């Protein structure tokens, strides 16, 4: 989850809210790729999750990255809770999941190099202290009580509030992991087309990356339990956002949506002020109960935008949020999938042609079915396996057209990063299918085998 934002000074006019979003518009030659991924850490001897402090802990990993790999510390209330270097950040999710938020980079070759280097650095430290890391969409065995809550003020506030607005918010916080990519847009019209495609095709990413068939030590009946968790978290800030497909949608419509998302906090002087359930509209009028008489800054607005959790969202850029965390190869495949669809106009147009006739019910049915059935999902006449094959063809064409070379020009484009996804479409099986086959096969129902065989 996000760290405190730097948005700007006082909000004096309503128009500044949309202008903040619009200020993210960039010409095509400045478009970048920012890949984020989360992973679970555990003690190798006990297979229990890492505590915050101790010889084998999240803190020990952060200190190892700081002292041995050139990262600068990020602290809150005297606690080391993150790192930064060269435009990238390492941060902690609520249950101690370690997240890399990558720097904005020009190509998937670069972002994959960044991911690889990060995982190598983390493994170097982890091996020295008897720790492992694994990429899955949901913790397969650990219970809620097994998972520590990290010492970040934002998480302390959210933890109790989640129980009031949905049944699975605390599961999301402590026991899920994702891989995401952040992409740019050129204009309001470009943002609208990209966001519509992103929301409509997010279930395809959910299906292809489904990697969480276990929860609480048992098979859960979903190939992406992480996706299931997000459907019962908080309806005021999650979902497929039908209004995005309405005529006239643009930055101001997103502003109106975000203003109706209940607040979590206001960040002041290094502290999180409890504003749970309060209204940013009241804040604009100086009537926020938590800070009576005070009006917000653009930094407050930037913070508030990070508390909306739909399947895709915009800030000064666009985030794709529908995929489970997973194995090494798929951490590079996720940005390849979306860059191929979004960063060449011909591919973006082809993707929009695929989905523009879908109604609200079809999009929602695909979302639900993808989490349950993966590539075997279906919504009316739309069959996920066929859809995924067509979408990958479009994405591959987009990557070839981009022509971003790698390895000093020896690799002609970025399309090879889709290989893991093409293998899934060819076989009809996603990571969850492999896990289930192993569980019912040579593992004989022993989920402890997952750590040794699927860790980084």
In whole angstroms, give the CA distance from residue 287 to residue 321: 33
Residues 322, 207: Cα–Cα separation, whole Å: 9
For residue range 375-417, list pLDDT tens digits in order: 999 999 999 999 999 999 999 999 999 999 999 999 999 999 9
Tokens of 167: 């049944």
Q: What string of H, E and C letters represents the secondary structure of 75-117?
A: EECCEEEEEEECCEEEEECCCCCEEEECCCECCHHHHHHHHHH
Burial code (b: 16+ CB inside 10 Å, e: under 16) for 44-83 equals beeeebbbbeeebbbbbbbbbbbeebebeebebeebbbbb
Asked whether residue 106 is domain-assigned, the answer is: no
Q: Residue 370: inside a domain, yes or no?
A: yes
Residue 255 included in any domain: yes
Q: What is the mean pLDDT of residues 358-362?
A: 98
Q: What is the mean pLDDT of residues 422-435?
A: 98
Chain length of the chain? 456
The pLDDT score that the predictor gives to residue 446 is 98
Nearest to 342 by CA among 18, 28, 24: 28
Q: What is the mean pLDDT of the chain?
A: 97
Decide if 191 is inside a domain.
yes
Cα(first)–Cα(last) distance of the chain, in Å? 22
Question: What's the Cα-to-Cα distance from 259 to each of 196, 267, 291, rounded to whole Å?
Answer: 20, 17, 17
* Residue 262: inside a domain: yes
CA distance 214 to 271: 37
For residues 69-88, average pLDDT: 97
pLDDT higher than threshold 90 for residue 371: yes
3-state helix, strand, coil in the chain (%, to 5): 45, 15, 35
Yes or no: say if 98 and 38 are a contact pair by the CB < 8 Å rule: yes
Q: Give the span between the Cα atoms of 201 and 396, in whole angstroms.
A: 15
Three-class DSSP category at 388: helix
Give the rounded percent of residues in the chain with a pLDDT score beyond 90: 98
Contact criterion met (CB below 8 Å) for 351 and 177: no
Which structural domain range is residue 314 located in?
A: 15-34+169-454
Residue 266, classed as helix, strand or coil, is: strand
Mean pLDDT of 44-60: 98
Residues 329-350 have pLDDT tens digits of: 999 999 999 999 999 999 999 9
Of 229, 230, 284, residue with least CA distance to 10: 284
Instruction: Report, as an integer, the average pLDDT of 269-288.
Output: 96
Can you say how many angstroms the Cα of residue 64 is from the centroid of all Cα atoms in its chain? 25
Q: State the average pLDDT over residues 428-435.
A: 98
The pLDDT, as a whole number, for residue 3 is: 62
Per-residue pLDDT, 2: 62
DSSP-derived secondary structure letter, 274: E
Is pLDDT above 90 for 7?
A: no
* pLDDT value, residue 6: 66
- Is there a domain that residue 138 lies in? no
Please tell me the predicted confidence (pLDDT) of residue 189: 98
DSSP string spanning 315-368? SSSEEEEEEE---HHHHHHHHHHHHHHHSSHHHHHHHHHHHTT--HHHHHHHHH
Q: Examine the pLDDT at 12 and tell me if it is beyond 60.
A: yes
Q: Please check whether residue 313 lies inside any domain of the structure.
A: yes
Alpha carbon distance 231, 243 (integer Å): 18
103, 83, 97, 106: which is closest to 31 by C-alpha?
Answer: 106
Mean pLDDT of 214-230: 98
How many domains would you assign to the chain? 1
Q: Which residue has the tokens 């969202």?
A: 313
Q: Residue 255 class from Cβ within 10 Å (0-12 exposed, 13-18 middle, 19+ buried)?
A: buried
Question: Tokens 């643009």 belong to which residue?
Answer: 250
Cα dist. 256→22, 88, 119, 281 in Å? 15, 31, 40, 10
Rg for the chain, CA atoms, rounded: 21
- The answer to whether residue 25 is domain-embedded is yes
Q: How many CA atoms lie within 13 A of 315 on its CB side?
A: 20
Query: pLDDT digits over 155-176, tens only?
Result: 999 999 999 999 999 999 999 9
Task: Look at strands 131-134 and 98-101 and give their pairing.
Answer: unpaired
pLDDT band per the 50, 70, 90 thresholds, residue 8: confident
Q: What is the CATH number of the domain that holds 338?
A: 3.30.590.20
Q: Which residues pair with 268 in a beta bridge?
A: 271
- Bridge partners of 313, per DSSP, are 319
Q: What is the Cα–Cα distance from 163 to 236, expressed in whole angstroms?
A: 14
List C-alpha distances in Å: 121 to 125, 324, 404, 418.
7, 22, 26, 25
């Amino acid at each position: 989850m996000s760290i405190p934002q730097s948005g700007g000074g006082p909000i004096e006019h309503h128009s500044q809210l949309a202008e903040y979003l619009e200020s993210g518009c960039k010409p095509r030659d400045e478009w970048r790729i920012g890949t984020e991924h989360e992973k679970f850490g555990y003690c190798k001897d006990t297979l229990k999750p890492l505590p915050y402090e101790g010889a084998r802990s999240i803190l020990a990993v952060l200190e190892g990255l700081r002292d041995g790999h050139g990262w600068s510390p990020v602290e809150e209330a005297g606690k080391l809770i993150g790192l930064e270097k060269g435009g990238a950040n390492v941060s902690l999710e609520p249950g101690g999941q370690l997240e890399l938020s990558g720097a904005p980079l020009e190509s998937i070759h670069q972002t994959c190099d960044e991911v690889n280097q990060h995982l190598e650095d983390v493994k170097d430290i982890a091996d020295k202290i008897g720790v492992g890391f694994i990429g899955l969409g949901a913790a397969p065995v650990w219970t809620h009580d097994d998972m520590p809550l990290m010492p970040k003020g934002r998480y302390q506030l959210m933890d109790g509030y989640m129980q009031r607005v949905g049944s699975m918010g605390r599961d999301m916080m402590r026991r899920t992991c994702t891989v995401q990519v952040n992409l740019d847009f050129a204009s309001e019209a470009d943002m609208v087309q990209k966001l519509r495609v992103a929301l409509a095709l997010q279930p395809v990413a959910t299906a292809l990356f489904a990697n969480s068939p276990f929860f609480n030590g048992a098979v859960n009946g979903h190939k992406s339990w992480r996706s299931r968790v997000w459907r019962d978290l908080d309806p005021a800030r999650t979902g497929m956002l039908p209004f995005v497909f309405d005529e006239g949608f643009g930055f101001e419509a997103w502003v109106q949506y975000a203003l109706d998302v209940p607040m979590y906090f206001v960040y002041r002087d290094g502290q999180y002020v409890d504003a749970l359930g309060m209204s940013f509209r009241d804040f604009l009028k100086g009537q926020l109960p938590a800070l009576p008489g005070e009006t917000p800054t653009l930094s407050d607005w930037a913070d508030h935008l990070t508390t909306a959790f739909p399947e895709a969202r915009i800030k000064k850029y666009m985030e794709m949020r529908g995929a489970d965390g997973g194995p090494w190869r798929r951490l590079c495949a996720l940005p390849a999938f979306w860059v191929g669809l979004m960063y060449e106009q011909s591919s973006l147009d082809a993707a929009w042609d695929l989905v523009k006739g879908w109604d609200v019910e079809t999009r929602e049915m695909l979302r639900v079915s993808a989490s349950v059935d993966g590539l075997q999902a279906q919504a009316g006449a739309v069959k996920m396996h066929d859809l995924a094959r067509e979408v990958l063809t479009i994405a591959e064409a987009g990557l070839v057209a981009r022509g971003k070379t790698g390895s000093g020009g020896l690799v002609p484009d970025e399309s090879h990063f889709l290989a893991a996804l093409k293998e899934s479409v060819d076989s009809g099986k996603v990571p969850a299918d492999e896990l289930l086959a192993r569980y019912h096969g040579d593992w004989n129902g022993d989920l402890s085998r997952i750590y040794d065989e699927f860790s980084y």
